[in-house]
Structure 1
Amino acid sequence: MKQIVCNAPDSLVMTEGETPTCGSGEAVVRIRRIGICGTDLHAYKGNQPFFSYPRILGHELSGEIEALGEGSQSLRVGQRVSIIPYLACGQCVACSKGKTNCCMSMQVLGVHVDGGMRERIVVPVEQLLPADDLSLDQAAMLEPLSIGAHAVRRSGLQAGDTALVIGAGPIGLGVMVMARQRGARVIAMDLQADRLRFCQSWAGAEATVIAGSEAADELIELTGGAYPDVVFDATGHAGSMSKAFDYTSHGGTLVYVGLVKADISFHDPEFHKRELTLMGSRNATREDFDAVRQAMAGGHIDIDRYITHRAEFEQMIDAFEGWLSPESGVIKAVVEL
C-alpha cells in the first residue's frame, strides 16, 4: 500500500505501508480524495503546533468502504463516506458536555496520529458519515467547511448581524458562506484583492476591505461607526489576531478560528472598555458537518469553484511545494486516488 510520509520539515516521501485490516467496530476505507489544508502546509514547514514527525498527513478525506468489522450494520461495503478526523475519548469533561471537538485527549488524523494520505485507512465506524448523495469532492470538503460552521455556531451570530471575516483562505471562506446562511451581513478582509473578489462571487460577501493601515477607517464607514458585531480571524497570523481586537464593536465578539504557534497580546483597557467576548474555535462536531451537508444539498456551496488545484496521488509530492506559493492562486488543492 502506497503512503506519503512527512518525515521532517520540508520532507515528503512515498513509502510502502502494510495493507490494513479492521476489527470490531472499525472499517477499512479506500481513500479517493484528500484535501490539502493549512495544517498540512504548516506541518510541512515545521510551524504546526501539536505535531510530531514522522507523520502521514491528511485529514480532509472521502472514500469508499472496502471492509467492515463486526457491529457495523448501519454501513455497507462499497458505500461512499466522509471521515470525521477528530478522535475523541468520550470520557473527559469536554466530551461529557458534547464538546468532542476539544476533547482533552484529542487525536486528529494527520496531526496527532497518522492520517489519510495513503491508499487505505482504518477508522472507527462512528467516524464515518454516509455520503452516497454527495460527490467525492463534496464529501472530502465537509471537514474544512465544518470548521467554519462550528465557528459561526459558537459565536452566536444572528440574522442581521454584521460579521467581519479576516483571512480569505479556505477556512475563512467557509466562515463567510456559513455566516451568510445565518442571515448575517459579511465583510471580508484580506491582503489580496483577487481573493476578496472571490469572497464576493463565491461566498456572497457584501463588502471587502484590504488589510492595512486604512482598514479601521473603512470598517467605521461600512458599519456606521459601530464596527462589526462579530469578528472572525482565520489568518493564523499573530499580528492580525492582535489587531482584530480593534475591529470589534462594543459588546461584540472576537473568534479565533486560525491557530498560530505564538503568544497573542492585546491592550487590556480597550478590551474592557468594549466588554468584548474572546473565543477560541477548534475543529467541529457532527452537528457542524450536518449543517454544511444541508447547505451543499441546498445548492449554497459551489465546491467546483472552491477546489482550484488538483494532483494525482503519484504526482502530489512534486505539486506540493508549488501550492505553498501565494502566486499559485491556490484556494483549495485536492489529491485524487
Structure 2
Amino acid sequence: MKVLEIAKPGEVRLIERPVPQPGPGEVLLRVRTVGYCGTDLSTFRGANPLVEYPRIPGHEVAGTIEQFGADATSDLSVGQHVLVFPYTECERCTACQAGRPNCCQYNQTLGVQRDGALAEYACLPAEKLIAAPGLTDRDLALVEPLTVGAHAVARGQATEQDTVLVFGCGAIGLGVIAAAASRHARVIAVDIDDEKLALGEKCGAAESINSLTEDLNTRVAELTDGHGPHLVIEAVGLPQTFRASVNLVAFAGRVVYVGYAKAAVEYETKFFVMKELDIRGSRNALRRDFDAVIEMLQSGSLPVDEIVNRSTNLAGACEAMEQWSASPQQVTKIHITLD
C-alpha cells in the first residue's frame, strides 16, 4: 500500500508498505479521506518538538471498516463509514483522574507522537472509531479539527449572555466560531484576511474585524460599549494576539488559549489582577465535543465546501504540503482523498 511519510524537515514522500493486519481489539480501516492539520505543517517545517522522524502524519481521518481483529468488540460493522478519535489516555495521570483525558500527560496523538493514518490502510483500536450517520467522508474528516475549537468554547464556558471574540479564522478558529454561535453567544471574528472573515460570518460570527485595516481597540470598544468581550479565544498563536487577548477582554472576563505562541510572550501582568481574569489553556477535545460537532455537521449549518478549500489525491499530497508551506495564508483546510 502507499503511505505518505515526512522523512525529515522539508522532505515529504510516498513510500510502499505492506497492508497491516489488525491485532487483538483492532480494526483494519480502509482510509478514505485525511485532512492536513497545522501540526502536520509544523512537522514538515521541523518546528514540532513532539515529533521524531520519519513520521507518517494524519489524525483527521475518515474511512471504511474492512476487517475486525480478534476480540475486537464494537457496535460497528464491516463496510461502515467512520471517523477516528485520534488521542490516547493513560487513565492514571492527574488529568485522566480528573476526567480530562484530552490533556493526558502521556497522550499520543496519531501523526504526532506516533505514526498517523495517511495511508491506504490503517489498524486502529475498535473503541477509537466513531460512526456519524448522514455524514460524508469529507464531513467525517472535518469533525476532529472542529472539535478542537468546540473544546475551547467549552473551556471558556460560553453562554448566550456572552460576547465572544475569536482571534483567527483558520480551521480551528472556525470551529470556535461555530461552537460559540451554537451556544447562542454573540461572536466577533478577528483576522487579517477579508475572505476568511466572510467565512467566519458564514460559520456564525455576528461581526468581524480586519485588524490589518481597522483599529482593533477602537472597533472592539465600539462593538462592546467600551466594556470588552466577556470571553476571548485565541486561535492564532502569535505573541501579539496572546497579549491582545488579555488587553481586550472585559473585567471579570475569561481568556482561552487554543493556539500556542512559538516565541516567548511578555505581558503587562497588572491586567491579570485588575480584571481578575480567568486564563485557561485548551488542548485536543473530549468525546462529548465530538458529539457536539457531529450534531452541527448533521444539521447542515456549516459551509463545509468553503472550509475545505483544497482537495487532492494521494499522488498530489506531497506537492500540496509543499505548496501549503510556501503559501499558508491561502489555505483553510486541505483534504487528501484516497479512493
Interval containing the TM-score (normalised by the shorter chain) = over 0.9
Offset of 1:132 from its aligned partner? 4.0
Q: Does the 8 A contact of 2:253 with 2:278 survive in 1?
A: yes
The question of 1:191 aligning with 2:192 is answered: yes
State the one-letter code of the partner of 1:252.
Answer: G
CA–CA separation in structure 1 for the residues paired with 2:301 and 2:82: 21
Deviation at 1:176, TM superposition (A): 0.2
Q: Deviation per CA, 1:249-287, whole angstroms, max 9, x where unpaired?
A: 100011001123333331111221111111100000110
CA distance in 1 between counterparts of 2:289 and 2:326 reads 30
Taking the TM superposition and a 5 Å limit, the aligned residue runs for 1:277-316 are: 277-316=278-317
The secondary structure found in structure 2 opposite 1:188 is: strand
SS at match of 1:255: strand
| Of 119-128 and 319-328, the range deviating more from structure 2 | 319-328
Secondary structure, aligned partner of 2:159: coil
- Deviation string 1:172-230 (CA, Å, 9 cap, x unpaired) is 01100110000000001011122112211x21211111225820111011100000000
The question of 1:235 aligning with 2:218 is answered no
Q: Which moved more, 1:7-16 or 1:316-325?
A: 316-325
User: In the aligned structure 2, how far is the partner of 1:306 from the partner of 1:137?
Assistant: 11
Distance 1:173 1:196, change over 3 A: same
1:26 and 2:22 equivalent? no
For 2:161 and 2:192, locate their aligned partners in 1 and report how far apart those are by CA, in whole Å. 26
Q: How high is the TM-score relative to the length of structure 1? A: 0.96
Distance in 2 between the 1:96 and 1:18 partners? 38
| Correspondence 1:219 to 2:220 | yes
Give the secondary-structure state (helix, strand or coil) at the position aligned to 1:198. Answer: helix
- Whole-Å separation in 2 of the counterparts to 1:295 and 1:191: 26
Given that 1:32 and 1:62 are in contact with CA atoms closer than 8 Å, whether structure 2 keeps it comes out as yes
Q: How far apart, in 1, do the equivalents of 2:153 and 2:112 lie? A: 24
- 1:326 deviates by 4.3
- Other structure's SS at 1:50 match: coil
CA contact 1:7–1:54 (8 Å) conserved in 2: yes
Question: For residue 77 of structure 1, what is the aligned residue in structure 2?
Answer: 78
Residues 134-173 of structure 1 aligned to structure 2 (within 5 Å): 134-173=135-174
Deviation by residue 1:120-173 (Cα, 9 ceiling, x = unmatched): 111111111013421101111110001111111111111121000001101001
CA deviations on 1:72-123 (whole Å, 9 max, x unpaired) are: 2422111111001111112222112221100111000000000011111111
- Aligned partners of 1:28 and 1:121 also within 8 Å: yes
Query: 1 CA distance for matches of 2:182 and 2:133?
Result: 24
Shift of the alpha carbon at 1:61?
Answer: 0.4
Task: Give the match's secondary structure for 2:79.
Answer: coil
Counterpart residue type for residue 256 of structure 1: Y
User: Does the 8 A contact of 1:147 with 1:174 survive in 2?
Assistant: yes
Aligned partner of residue 83 in structure 2, secondary structure: strand
* 1:327 Cα offset (Å): 7.4
**CA distance, structure 1, for counterparts of residue 93 and residue 81 of structure 2:** 31
CA distance in 2, matches of 1:15, 1:260: 33
Structure 1 partner of 2:179: 178
Q: Which moved more, 1:248-257 or 1:232-241?
A: 232-241
Report the AA paired with residue 63 of structure 2.
G
1:46 deviates by 1.5
RMSD of the alignment, in Å? 1.5
Gaps (5+ residues) in structure 1? none
Aligned residue type for 1:134: L
Equivalent residue for 1:55? 55
The percent identity for this pair of structures is 37
1:30 is paired with a residue whose SS is strand
| Structure 1 counterpart SS, 2:222 | helix
Secondary structure at the aligned position of 1:320 is classed as helix
User: Is the 1:48–1:261 Cα contact (8 Å) retained in structure 2?
Assistant: no
| Aligned equivalent of 2:102 | 101
Q: Report the Cα distance in structure 1 between the residues aligned to 2:261 and 2:28, rounded to whole angstroms.
A: 33
Q: CA deviation at 1:319?
A: 2.1
The two structures have a TM-score, normalised by structure 2, of 0.95
How many residues matched? 336
The more displaced of 231-240 and 219-228 is 231-240
Corresponding residue SS for 1:112: coil
SS at match of 1:44: helix
Cα 1:326–1:193 shift into 2, 3 Å: farther
| Letter of the structure 2 residue corresponding to residue 67 of structure 1 | Q
> In 2, Cα distance between the equivalents of 1:296 and 1:186?
19
